[in-house]
A = this chain, B = another copy of it.
Amino acid sequence: MQRVENTNVIYNFTPDMKPVQTVGNGDIIRFESNDCFYQQVLKNTDVLEEIDQDRLNPATGPVYIEGAEPGDILKVDILSIDIAESGCSAVVPGHGILPDEAKEAIVRIIPIKDGHADYLGLHIPVKPMIGVIGVAPAAADGSWPTATPWKHGGNMDTHDIRVGSSLYFDVAQKGALFALGDCHAIMGDGEVCFTGLEIPAEVTVRLTVIKDQKNIGWPFLETEEEIMVIGSGDNIEAACRAALSPMVRALSNFHNISWEEAYILSSLVVDLKISQLVDPKLTARAVISKHYLTAEGFLASL
């Protein structure tokens, strides 16, 4: 199995980024991922100023997938996320969704043991997830810092991006140019304080190209029981609109009902969920049970 070392990092998803490795269509590959601070935070501290701000949110890659062409879809099956033995979380006054209530900067190093995070005596079951994951954007969309989520993926901070999930991206550049990083041992919807439990990890994925497929517009995720579109925007309502619009269209096409009838169906069975409220763009997802629409049905109904 190929392995991408964690020294191969990008800080921007750009249309013309250069691949560090090439894999075949359908190959399984293992990524060493850095935490969002590039492991610069190693002890409890209130001095976050010492961190090199140019090394935040690295993503490992990018990897060129043979056969991927603009217009295809890249399917990413997340096979494993092996997190390190310790991670960290931070509060920075002025950040998070209660920026005025946070009075002091703190960092907490949080050890992981037997699948649980030990935090101040609390025993928190971990649910590892990938924060930053994406492909090279279309030239028309320009370049995106890895800290920002958009149509190419990026810092979506969506905790359903976990083992057993499959993520689908529109391929905008030859080879797709896939990268990932910024895993969290656990994070609640909203990522309210500005960080999750930030942690280095090794992530194994299978990368498969789906040909002759209409574009989705936004990243699309499949879990065991649900499918979802992940949208981002300048506020959460805009992110919700981005996520919901393709879902209503697909429901209309798949069930052969009018757009308005699909809008009603969405109001009954689609959950709009907050992913994160703290990145340069905010992220939400439109989630529906596979009882009403499968991933295959969604992709065939765009």
Contact = CB atoms under 8 A, between A and B. Distances in A.
Contacts of A117: 268
A260 B196 contact: no
A198 to B, nearest CB: 10
A298 to B, nearest CB: 16
A193 B267 contact: yes
A190 B239 CA distance: 12
Interface string A244-276: 110010000001011111011111111111100
B273 A193 contact: no
A91 interface: yes
Contact of A245 (B90, B101, B187): B101
Given A98-B248, A236-B236, A104 B270 contact: no
Contacts of A284: 274
Interface stretch (A28-36, A60-68, A69-77, A118-126): A118-126
B277 A274 contact: no
A299 interface: no
A228 B180 CA distance: 33
A145 B187 CA distance: 37
Interface string A160-195: 000000000000000000000000001111111111
Contact of A104 (B195, B260, B271): B260
A263 to B, nearest CB: 4
Contacts of A235: 235-237
Contacts of A263: 91, 96, 98, 101-102, 192-193
B103 A271 contact: no
A122 to B, nearest CB: 7
A240 interface: yes
Contacts of A206: none
A273 B270 contact: no
A268 B192 CA distance: 8
A269 B102 contact: no
A277 B270 CA distance: 13
Given A188-B266, A193-B264, A236-B236, 4 more contacts: A106-B264, A190-B270, A196-B268, A235-B236
Interface of A: 89-91, 96-98, 101-104, 106, 108, 117, 119-122, 124, 186-197, 235-237, 240-241, 244-245, 248, 255, 257-261, 263-274, 277, 284, 292
